[in-house]
């Protein structure tokens, strides 16, 4: 298939593709959210994953970022650099995985780019919206706030399918003081939230996925649950795991002992 | 440098980077335009190009797409997968090239992703805006319309620097019946415009860059001039090259002889 043939095929699945840009209406009285996430062969996935899983997961990671801000996803761009081993069947399944999740969240595939590389590279951009000035940030946690997660943790070994927590994110608007998603492990991501808020944190207990260890939940990453904070006694849809404290910004303690903010660093792990 | 260090550095240059998503105000009473373009090592550039040129060019290609719709660029996301050979100096120069062009067009670097791959991959997304229902499309050309280009052509051999025609694009709103940018050569791109409009075209003459041949102007691509149509006697800022005709949609003639829509196909040219 040449470029026009692939684009023609995608166009039938995504009616907005075809002109130089996708054109969509701007939502009224909203802030826009933009997020973009790479999915790269041998970095974010291996050839053991199916095309459908790779497409699904690529979109799920970006949707999780929208969820972390309390946003609603609207439009998606998918840029795909196919590898020498990629065939038409693979591409079809890949877009099936993408469309499955986008449809579930009423998000439109609006465009993208097609090219080729030695290893397969996909970049998924999602544009979402949130009420003006209402987005959940990482930077609002206060000493005394309770820390919550949206579900049990355990890292990528125990969490094969990402479920973007869009509903929970939207319910946290006006309630959570800070929020982010856990992509690189609870320890590293909570460290980032604390740095952004200028606070420290104390973890008492971590809800675990079946067969997962505490170390995996703290450091493995790719849980894609929401990590958020709220004042005590405020009703929020989460599992409490500890409290925000005063102290050196970014300092973490787990059951009284100092906790190193180790997690998954995408640049340090070169396959 | 690890991921947080690189992100921290980029954040100083691009204040919106840092949370899970970039947050920006949605423009009122506008349509949004989205475009995304890969710049991949050994596909879109070779190691002979400087980091500054690669960054500049990556952004210029996406800005040219916004120009082709008559839009105003607003926000930019840059996803960068660094290669084993990439060092800190390269990354700094690359973002300098990006920022130089973005500043010139009042466009904000709002976010992106960082990862790594065996060959360097960059994906630039630009979000722009245009008055509701006013975007220039490829699909409005009518028989009798004059065909214009925004400047002399010659292909990538003769056009080392891309100048996105944003001013000209905006001046064409309400005047051009169809518009696109020339990325893959006049012949292939005019063929696409004709297919989208359901018309044919007759080229009389092509304005040439110094030392360029007609064949290069027709087929080499990467001129990034605007190609547009308008009814006769309408005043537009372009050089007339021929006329839209009735006939089999997509059919091209150059000085009476049939012209094959050959051009640059990014998927057929694997380096």
- Decide if B20 and A69 are in contact by the 8 Å CB cutoff: yes
CA distance B207 to B220: 15
Shortest Cα–Cα distance, B146 to chain A (Å): 20
Q: Extract the runs of DSSP E, i.e. beta strands, from chain A.
A: 22-25, 30-40, 72-82, 108-116, 121-131, 146-149, 178-181, 200-203, 226-230, 239-245, 252-254, 257-259
Half-sphere exposure of B245 (CA within 13 A, CB side): 16
**pLDDT tens track of chain A, all 271 residues?**
565 666 666 655 554 456 789 999 999 999 999 999 999 999 999 878 999 999 999 999 999 999 999 999 999 999 999 999 998 899 999 999 999 999 999 999 999 988 899 999 999 999 999 999 999 999 999 999 999 999 999 999 999 899 999 999 999 999 999 999 999 999 999 999 999 999 999 999 999 999 999 999 999 999 999 999 999 999 999 999 999 999 999 999 999 999 999 887 655 543 3
CA distance B145 to B201: 10
Q: Which residues pair with B200 in a beta bridge?
A: B245
List strands edge to edge, sheet with B30-40: A22-25, B30-40, B121-131, B72-82, B108-116
Residue A268: the pLDDT is 53
Residue B18: the pLDDT is 60
Residue B270: the pLDDT is 38
Shortest Cα–Cα distance, B254 to chain A (Å): 22
Per-residue tokens: B211: 């030392």
β-pair type (B200-203, B239-245): antiparallel
Task: Answer for the pair A7, A111: CB distance below 8 angstroms, yes or no.
Answer: no
Shortest Cα–Cα distance, B250 to chain A (Å): 13
- Decide if A114 and B266 are in contact by the 8 Å CB cutoff: yes
CA distance B97 to B161: 12
Which residues in B lie closer than 8 A to residue A118 (C-beta atoms)? 118-119
Identify the residue whose tokens are 């190691």: B47
Which residues in A lie closer than 8 A to residue B81 (C-beta atoms)? 38, 40, 43, 121
Residue B48: the pLDDT is 85
Which residues in A lie closer than 8 A to residue B58 (C-beta atoms)? none
Shortest Cα–Cα distance, A116 to chain B (Å): 6
**Which of A70, A121, A123, A262 best tests the B interface by mutation, with the highest count of B CBs <10 A?**
A123
DSSP B41-101: BTTTB-TTS-HHHHHHHHHHHHHHHHHHTT-EEEEEEEEEEE-TT--HHHHHHHHHHHHHH
Which residues in B lie closer than 8 A to residue A71 (C-beta atoms)? 21
Which residues in A lie closer than 8 A to residue B25 (C-beta atoms)? 31-32, 132
CA distance B67 to B73: 8
Shortest Cα–Cα distance, B11 to chain A (Å): 13
- Decide if A21 and B68 are in contact by the 8 Å CB cutoff: yes
Task: Answer for the pair A145, A177: CB distance below 8 angstroms, yes or no.
Answer: yes
Mean pLDDT by 10 residues, chain B (271 residues): 62 59 92 96 90 96 97 96 91 94 96 91 97 96 98 94 96 98 95 96 97 96 97 97 97 96 65 35
Can you list the domains of chain B with their CATH numbers? 3-131 (3.30.1330.10), 146-259 (3.90.650.10)
Residue A12: the pLDDT is 58
Residue A266: the pLDDT is 56
CA distance A133 to A137: 10
- Establish whether this prediction's ipTM goes over 0.85: yes
Residue B28: the pLDDT is 92
Of A164, A26, A123, A233, the closest CA to residue B132 belongs to A26
Of A222, A214, A216, A197, the closest CA to residue A147 belongs to A197
Which residues in A lie closer than 8 A to residue B71 (C-beta atoms)? 21
């Amino acid at each position: 298939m040449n470029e026009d043939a692939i684009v023609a095929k995608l166009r039938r699945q995504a009616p907005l593709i075809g002109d130089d840009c996708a054109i969509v209406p701007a939502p009224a009285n909203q802030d826009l959210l933009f997020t973009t996430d790479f999915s790269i062969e041998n970095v974010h996935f291996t050839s053991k994953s199916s095309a459908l899983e790779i497409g699904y997961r690529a979109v799920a990671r970006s949707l999780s970022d929208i969820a972390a801000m309390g946003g609603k996803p609207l439009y998606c761009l998918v840029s795909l650099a196919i590898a020498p081993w990629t065939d038409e069947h693979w591409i079809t399944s890949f877009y099936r995985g993408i469309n499955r999740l986008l449809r579930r969240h009423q998000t439109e595939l609006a465009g993208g780019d097609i090219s080729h590389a030695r290893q397969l590279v996909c970049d998924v951009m999602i544009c979402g919206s949130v009420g003006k000035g209402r987005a959940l940030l990482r930077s609002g946690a206060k000493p005394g706030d309770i820390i919550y997660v949206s579900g049990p943790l355990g890292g990528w070994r125990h969490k094969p399918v990402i479920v973007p927590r869009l509903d929970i994110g939207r319910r946290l608007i006006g309630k959570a003081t800070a929020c982010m998603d856990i992509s690189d492990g609870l320890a590293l991501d909570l460290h980032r939230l604390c740095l952004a808020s200028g606070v420290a944190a104390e973890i008492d207990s971590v809800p675990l996925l079946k067969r997962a260890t505490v170390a995996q939940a703290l450091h493995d990453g790719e849980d894609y649950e929401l990590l958020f904070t709220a004042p005590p006694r405020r009703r929020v849809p989460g599992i409490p795991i500890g409290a925000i404290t005063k102290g050196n910004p970014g300092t973490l303690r787990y059951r009284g002992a100092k906790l190193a903010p180790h997690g998954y660093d995408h640049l340090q792990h070169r396959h």
